[in-house]
Chain A
Amino acid sequence: MTVLTRGAYGLPGTSLAYKTGNWRSTERPVHVHAKAPCHAACPAGEDQQAWFAKLQEGRAEEAWQVLVAANPLPGVTGRVCPHPCQNACNRKTMDGALAIHNVERWLGDEAIAQGWTHPVAEPAPDAPVVAIVGAGPAGLSAAYHALRHGLRAALYETAPEAGGLLRSAIPRTRLPRHLLDAEIGRLLSLPGIEITYRARLGRDVSVEELASDHAAVCLAPGCQQGRAWDVAGALPSDHHEGLALLREFMDHGQFPPASRIVVHGGGNTAVDLCRLMKRSGVQQVTLITASGLPGPQTAPDDVLNVVPRELDEALEEGIEIVPHATVNRLIMRGSKVIGAEVASLRKERGADGRTRRVTFEGTERVIDVDMVIPCIGELVDPEGLEPLVDRGYLRPGDTWGRLQDNLYALGDARGDRGTVAEAVGDGRRAAEAIAARLAGAEPEADDRGELTAEGLNPVYYEGAPRSTAPKLAVQQRGFDTEIEGDIGRAAALAEAQRCLSCGNCLACDNCWTFCPDNAVIKTVELATDGSHYLFDLDYCKGCGLCADECPTGYIQMQPERGP
């Protein structure tokens, strides 16, 4: 019988006694949850990657809960947001950005249809109360987030209903009122939020009063006062300002009669007004704007500031747009306008480094019109806010909206905002800052890096075309029915599968499968994220392979911490 001597065998698995981890010289793998670009770009602060992850598992309600942790109005933003998230989406370098917007809307609608409720507990009866002036998206978001921080909220709204411009200005064809009512109703019914209607700051309450009986005061009155518009001194007797026309139309369903109009301006108000007036029978609608149309020739900050889809639809509907132009003067017959002199214009950088608008001599032309409508933006109505208004706005010094210790400014009234998502984000940040202040701390900004497309490994993503939503044909568009339709459950879930999970583990097992040293350990718990994987640095040799083959960029090689 052969006898095996000790020189001839080893015991199974005993190589574990030898820690190859000390071979690593410069770098070790580290799990890094970087910001997905969609999240980094979202003014409301949504983490789209996180809610897509839930949808990928078919958990729609959990996805909605993750979403509303940042934004309580997804049905609204899913319809009206200019979706910078989508413009930032890494998948645009492959086969098209995700239709984030449409999925957000679908989730928002699904929540209403299914009656999902916010997982927010009622604050303690003696919890500090935050006073909020204005129940537009900024004020509503502040109230909601105050609750999430365990605070109570008292809203003061001058109008008889909440919603701000969402209700008073944005056309129903892109924001149906039943949806708006449902989302706002759900929010306002949360225990811990009180709202007083027809309470006007300046008339019924004052900042000082509010500040003295509340833990903090948020000012979210939006911008209610039209800017002075004066074209070489001439103003027609029947002058109408854009936002006022829109509001009137929302209330009474009528525009003053006209057959050829020029709208002067370059935002959502201008485009909405053009489209509604065209639909209501105005034959010729011309938009004169100082901005440019999107295209390779136009710098991003020079593009007409509207939701991209709205611009496309406006052009489809036959709105004529004259970019990089201004209305120089009105041609009057008596006190009635009969023409507008238009000239080319550009924003040019001067010797002092500041940009200003320069009109080019010799480019003047006259358009025959019977109405010229300025849509050049609004300023904060200073009533009750006199000492705080600075050149038309509240202009807080930081992203938290801090004006003074316990006084915050949010939304359009800040002067550097202009979208619903930004208003929602402001509400969230203000609530966070207030909660931090009450706890004697500073609010903390999320300064994680962003995971750009170069950080992904595209090999591991199968191609999949982007889903599209149905849309009403131009002839079918009216004043009530929504123009863009719902993408539906199947397309929403398919779209979620396209998400690359930028910067966050998707539990693909690549690192676990590929590590030549079994230094990636997979846990047995059920998990679909990075909590599933551990690095066993006792054996990791630092080859960097896992980081290269991680599709999502969740593994990064970082310098060894020195001895």
Chain B
Amino acid sequence: MSDETRLTELRQKFGRQPAAPDETTGAEPTPREAQPRFRGLESGHRACQGCGEALAARLVMECAGPDVMVANATGCLEVFTTAWPESAWRVPWAHSLFENAAAVASGMEAAMKARGRNTKVLAFGGDGGTYDIGFQALSGMLERYHNVLYVCYDNEAYMNTGIQRSSSTPHAATTTTSPAGRERMGKRHLKKDLLSIIAAHHIPYAASASVAFPQDLQRKVRYAMGIDGPTFLVVHSPCPLGWRHESRLTINVARRAVECGLFPLVELERGSLTNVMPIRDQRPVTDYLQLQGRFAHLFGDDPRAQQKRDHLQALADYNVQVYGLTGAGPDPADTGGAAAVGRSGVAAGRR
């Protein structure tokens, strides 16, 4: 099939949506089209089964769109959404390089400004593209005060090239470049405290979120979207392949990361801590670790295993302490209350 035929075929199938309410395509909307939410990132993408990153990006698009454009760094998200000649995106979207998403977004924002448009620009990157290689571009974008929301999909390693450690990989996790074995119990170094560095730029808003708490995540996106200036969100996004957990457990793993204190959900405005999601009942870190193959060596006979578990527990307790994650009794916005559902939707705010 020639490119031309293939393109015509795709156009006929997915042709441009009506631009205005009075313009119709003539066709009855399919159930997919009629859904009561914005479909910024469509099905048919090639993410793995149970991919946390695909979910996170969809959740962000849902409440950021439709009037947005995206600069996407190289990485899984970029690759699995855009297998040529197809694209899963339904907003303007650009990919340039691994290291420059924030710089590209800065340029897009400047161009919009020059045209007198206020389309919000989003920049997306993985943790490799954010904590590591794209870090200086990000710092520059924040410092120049571009009106961009940067979202880092944190799956805690370079997943797209085969699970190499990043500065976001947690201590003691095994990756292909920090393998557990005789020499070491997985990654020797600590997970970088990126949020504090971002906060040091004194930007209006920086926050962490998790796919396990979608309403909280989307509230944070909406809040950031309303700010004229640089904002930053890091979303904990489990990777069943790289973390070696069953695909069905993505949400459970993400939830436990928050509940044990290893991934605190916090909000910082102008560098100051303004809000946290309190933990209702703090779990031991082992509840989180044992679901994942990347920590399997921490449960063997090796005498170093106990020490590593204790170390991770100490890191979790440290987060709980410095961020004040212990709540004062059940709260609709704590880890227990935020998850609650009722008939026809989330329960929060009902009682």
Please provide the chain A residues from 522 to 563 with a CB less than 8 Å away from any CB of chain B in the complex. 522-524, 528, 534, 536, 538-539, 541-545, 547-549, 551, 557
- Partner among B3, B54, B339, B342 whose Cβ is within 8 Å of the Cβ of A506: B342
Chain A contacts for B52, CB-based, 8 A: 516
Determine chain A's interface SS by DSSP, over half rule: loop
| CB 8 Å contact bits of A1-19 with B (1 = contact, 0 = none) | 0000011011111111111
A548 touches B89 (CB 8 A): no
Q: CB of B293 within 8 A of chain A?
A: no
Query: Is B192 close to A, CB under 8 A?
Result: no
Assess whether B31 is in contact with A521, with CB atoms less than 8 Å apart.
yes
A517 touches B248 (CB 8 A): no
A6 partner residues in chain B, CB cutoff 8 A: 3, 7, 85
* Interface residue A368 (Cβ < 8 Å from any Cβ of B): no
Chain A: minimal CB distance from B68 (Å): 13
Q: B28 CB to closest chain A CB, in angstroms?
A: 12
Given the complex of chains A and B, what is the CA–CA distance between A463 and B329 in angstroms?
A: 12
- Report if A462-B10 is in contact (Cβ < 8 Å); known contacts: A13-B88, A17-B44: no
A291 within 8 A of B: no
On whether the beta carbons of B248 and A544 are closer than 8 Å, the reply is yes
Q: Which residues of B are found within 8 Å of A463, using beta-carbon distances? A: 330, 336
B143 within 8 A of A: no
Let me know if A508 is at the binding interface, CB within 8 A.
Answer: yes
Known: A14-B14, A522-B36. A517 touches B343 (CB 8 A): no
Contact assessment for A462 and B340 in the assembled complex, using a CB-CB cutoff below 8 Å? yes
Binary interface profile of B, 1-42, with partner A (CB < 8 Å = 1, else 0)?
A: 001000101110110000000000000000110111101011
User: A residues within 8 A CB of B35?
Assistant: 521-524
Asked if A459 is at the interface (CB within 8 A of a chain B CB), the reply is yes
Contact at A462–B81, with CB atoms within 8 Å?
Answer: no
Q: Is the CB of A523 within 8 A of B31?
A: yes
In the complex with contacts A20-B43, A516-B250, A541-B49, A14-B341 CB distance below 8 A:
no
Interface string of B56-74 (1 = CB under 8 A from A): 0011000000000000000
- B82: Cβ under 8 A from any A Cβ: yes
| Measured CA separation A497–B343 after assembly (Å) | 8
How distant is B215 from chain A, measured CB to nearest CB, in Å?
8
The distance from the CB of B54 to the nearest CB of chain A, in whole angstroms, is 4
Tell me if B116 counts as interface (CB < 8 A to partner A). Answer: no
For B337, give its contact among A14, A16, A462 (CB under 8 Å).
Answer: A462
Mind listing 13 A-B residue pairs with CB under 8 Å?
A11-B7, A12-B90, A13-B14, A13-B87, A13-B90, A15-B81, A16-B44, A509-B341, A517-B47, A518-B41, A518-B42, A518-B58, A541-B50
For the A-B complex with A57-B343, A536-B32 known, give 13 more contacts whose Cβ atoms are closer than 8 Å: A11-B11, A14-B44, A15-B81, A17-B13, A20-B43, A56-B342, A510-B341, A514-B55, A518-B41, A518-B42, A523-B34, A545-B50, A548-B249
Residues of B within 8 A of A (CB): 3, 7, 9-11, 13-14, 31-32, 34-37, 39, 41-52, 54-55, 58-59, 81-91, 211, 214, 240, 246-252, 255, 330, 332, 336-337, 339-347, 351
